[in-house]
Structure 1
C-alpha cells in the first residue's frame, strides 16, 4: 500500500532555499512516498507568534489548519516538513493559540500528523539510510533549538547522515548550544547573535569538517552569512540536500 504525505514548505525554504524543498521531495519519493503539495499553503504563523502578535499569528495558523486538513477518506495522512522550527510551532505553540476555541479539535488532528523530515523517515517509516546517497568528506551536526528542545530530534538526522556513503561524522563541542539566530533575536540583538554564530562556527571548524549540517535552514542561513563574510572553508547543507546527493 502506497503512503501519501502532504508537504509543508516553510517561508524560509520557499523564498531562499527552494532546492532544499525539491530535495526533500526527491528523498521522499526515493523511499516510496507519494508527495502531495497544496499550492495554497503559506506560513505556520511562527514569525508573528515569536514577535508577540498572537492574534495575527492565530489568523495565519487557522489558514494552516484549513490548508492541511486531511481528506475524509485518508484522515491519518502525514504532514512532512524540512523544518523542525515550524513543526515545533505547530506541535507546541498552537496549543496556546487554539486553547478553548472552536478550532481546537482541528488543531489536535493536525498536530498528530505533522513530522519533521528526518523523524518521519526514521520513526514512522523505519528507514536507516537513503539508497544511493553519497557525499565525500566529513560533516559536523548542529542541533537546532527547535529540533532538540521542541521536537526531541537528535539521533534521527545523525542516523540518516551516517548512512550516506563516503561521509564521516565528527561531533563539535557544544553542539546543542544555540546558533544565535532566533528569528527577530538576530535583528534586535545583532551583536550577541553574531557572537553566538562565531562561536558555533569556530567549534565546527575545530573538527576539520567540510560540511555543517542541520534540520533548519534558518540556523544555516545565519551561520552561512558569518562563514561567507569571513571567507571560511566550511559549507552549510540542510540534511535533505545531503540525503539527495549522489544519485
Structure 2
C-alpha cells in the first residue's frame, strides 16, 4: 500500500528522529512510504485558538500533498484528530472528505489497518505509557477509565509485543499531562502542576522511560523531568517499536 507520511511541526523541528523511526517502521512492515517535502502545519494551532478560517491554506496544501495516497499516517494524536474533524476546502471538498477517512495515527494504523500482531523490537526497560487525551478521547486509542466498559489500549497492545519491555502500572492511567497546546501558554502554572503530577505517577512506579504516541505531550513531560534533574527519559512509541 502507498502511505503518505505526515510529520507534525514540533517533530520536524525538535524530534526528527521520531519521524525517521516512523518511516523505518512502516517500511519494515511492507508499506511504500512517500514524504511530501513541502508539507507544513496542519492548521491545528489556529483552529484551537479560534481562528480556523486562517488555516484554509494549510488545508489546501495538505490536500494537494496527500490526496494521491492510499493512507496518510502520522506519529501524533492531536494533529491527526484535527485533520479527521476539520479538514475542509470549499474548492476541493470531495477530495477533503475522502482524505479525512484515510488519515490515521500511527498506533491505530498498525493495529486496525496493518493488523500487526508481532514485532522484532527489543527494549529491556521499565516503561510507563502516557495516554494523550486526543488519542484516547478523540481517536479512541484506549478505553476511558470512567466508563463501565471493557478496558483496551491499542498502544499498550503494541508495546506488549516488544521483547524485554516491562509496561508498568499507573495509579491514574488516563490523566491529562497538562500540555494542551496553547493551554500551556495561557495557563502556564496549571499546565506545569498537571505535568508534575503526571510525572510523579510514573516515578512512583519506577519508570525508567516514559513513552507515548503524541510527542507534544512527551515534550511537556520532558521539560519537567529535565528541570528536576531526573534520570528518567522520554521516548516516542515509534522509536521503541522500530527498535530505537
TM-score range, shorter chain: over 0.9
Provide the TM-score with structure 2 as the length reference: 0.92
Q: Which one of the candidate residues 66, 69, 72 is aligned to 1:79?
A: 72
Aligned to 1:158: 156
Provide the TM-score with structure 1 as the length reference: 0.91
Name the CA distance, whole Å, in 2 between partners of 1:59 and 1:173.
43
Matched, 1:144 2:132: yes
Cα deviation, residue 5, structure 1:
0.7
Aligned to 2:147: none
**Preserved contact between residue 8 and residue 37 of structure 1 (Cα < 8 Å):** yes
Matched, 1:128 2:128: no
Runs of 4+ in 1 over 6 A off after TM superposition: none
Q: What is the CA deviation profile of residues 165-187 of structure 1, one whole-angstrom value per residue up to 9, with x for unaligned ones?
A: 11011121222111111111111
Q: Which one of the candidate residues 44, 47, 50 is aligned to 1:46?
A: 44
Name the CA distance, whole Å, in 2 between partners of 1:93 and 1:146.
14
For the residue of structure 2 that corresponds to 1:130, the secondary structure is coil
Q: What is the CA deviation profile of residues 191-229 of structure 1, one whole-angstrom value per residue up to 9, with x for unaligned ones?
A: 000000000000111111111110000000000000000
Q: What pairs up with 1:184-223 in 2 under 5 angstroms? A: 184-223=182-221
Q: Which one of the candidate residues 102, 105, 116 is aligned to 1:116?
A: 105
Calculate the aligned-residue CA RMSD, in Å.
1.3
**Preserved contact between residue 224 and residue 236 of structure 1 (Cα < 8 Å):** yes
* Gap regions ≥5 residues in structure 2: 143-152
Aligned to 2:7: 9
Name the CA distance, whole Å, in 2 between partners of 1:140 and 1:48.
32
How many positions carry a matched residue from both structures? 234
Q: What is the CA deviation profile of residues 102-156 of structure 1, one whole-angstrom value per residue up to 9, with x for unaligned ones?
A: 432221111111111111111101102322x001111111110110011111222
Name the CA distance, whole Å, in 1 between partners of 2:58 and 2:19.
21
